[in-house]
Structure 1
């Protein structure tokens, strides 16, 4: 879409999910109990959350009530995470094909927003969780797509401003200061209150 006043998040979301899918395919059985920077989840829990959250934004794109969708994925075996994610991300891409969906108000956990804002929020989520997974399984942030992190960071700064109170109810911690030489993924993580596992 052009001349809309916003960046169409669909191509970015597609790239972000391709990156996530490729990383999920590298997860080994022995990785599933490793900790992640998203401290409430080990790798298995993170994969469940990613698949479930992706299912939620698929339902939103299809015109359904995403808040009725459990943001965890039950019934996926440990050898099925890659296939489950591939299936649900394809569903999202189909659900959000319509240009009209970009400007239609939709309901997501943080409120009612235009579709483009909702999908941008889910770009931020999958890019952040891809970094979480990379940290957990020992993939350097430098191997990830820096442009995706820059898009996610711009979204994070818009929806979670620097001035947000520490007691704000969000799934993210209080903003940290990123090191001066930090790359885009480390700056994104710091904005969302995450700590690299090497420094946690």
Structure 2
């Protein structure tokens, strides 16, 4: 998978907006929903929430110049306070403009920092959609946030590489008529329409 290094858009404000959206979604989760299934079939609501905390923590560690692999795929905590604290840490970690061009190592390879952040932005939005759909919350983030992300993701995660063992995404799902941009982004990552019943 290649990074969208050619993009001129600074991903940092978009990433912060995406994590703010996920923070609101986590705040809307009812404890009775923690063991409900999600569109991301490997996670229920609780493990998806723990994964969300872990991914934003990984983004922070990478921004600080650390090793992403020191952060487990699932965090111990799944609550909104843990996610919000990790989001604040990630925001601070990426303040220096030089971090966007410095090479960093992430699960999908060695890329410039901006490429890493675009990947984590995609992850926040897609898993945010997963969480929203699973818990019956509004599943569309701001179009001004999603549109540039969808454009970037189509560049660095093209449809033809889905057969590679190194790409942890399913085949692109054709969007249903009327699908919003966040759902289309999830479709691009292989998410199908999810039935909560």
**TM-score above 0.5:** yes
Q: CA deviation at 1:199?
A: 8.7
Secondary structure of the residue that 2:87 maps to in structure 1?
A: helix
Q: Distance in 2 between matches of 1:92 and 1:180?
A: 36
- Residue 19 (structure 1) aligned to one of 15, 18, 21: 21
- Residue 92 (structure 2) aligned to one of 75, 83, 94: 94
Structure 1 segments, 4+ long, off by >3 Å, are none
Q: Distance in 2 between matches of 1:48 and 1:199?
A: 20
Q: Distance in 1 between matches of 2:7 and 2:86?
A: 29
Q: Is the 8 A contact 1:156 1:192 kept in 2?
A: no
Q: Distance in 2 between matches of 1:153 and 1:34?
A: 28
Q: Distance in 1 between matches of 2:188 and 2:165?
A: 14
Q: Which has the higher contact order (CA 8 A, sep 6+)?
A: 2
- Residue 187 (structure 1) aligned to one of 159, 184, 187: 184
Q: CA deviation at 1:180?
A: 3.8
Q: Is the 8 A contact 1:135 1:196 kept in 2?
A: no
The yes-or-no answer on 1:103 pairing with 2:101 is: yes
Q: CA deviation at 1:165?
A: 4.0
Secondary structure of the residue that 1:33 maps to in structure 2?
A: coil
Superposition pairs of residues 1-200 of structure 1, within 5 angstroms = 6-74=8-76, 76=77, 81-142=79-140, 144-198=141-195
Q: Is the 8 A contact 2:134 2:196 kept in 1?
A: no
Q: Is the 8 A contact 1:175 1:191 kept in 2?
A: yes
Where structure 2 has 5 or more consecutive residues not aligned to the other structure, the ranges are 1-5
Q: CA deviation at 1:167?
A: 4.2
Q: Distance in 2 between matches of 1:103 and 1:59?
A: 16
Q: CA deviation at 1:54?
A: 1.1
Q: CA deviation at 1:154?
A: 1.7
Q: TM-score, normalised by structure 2?
A: 0.91
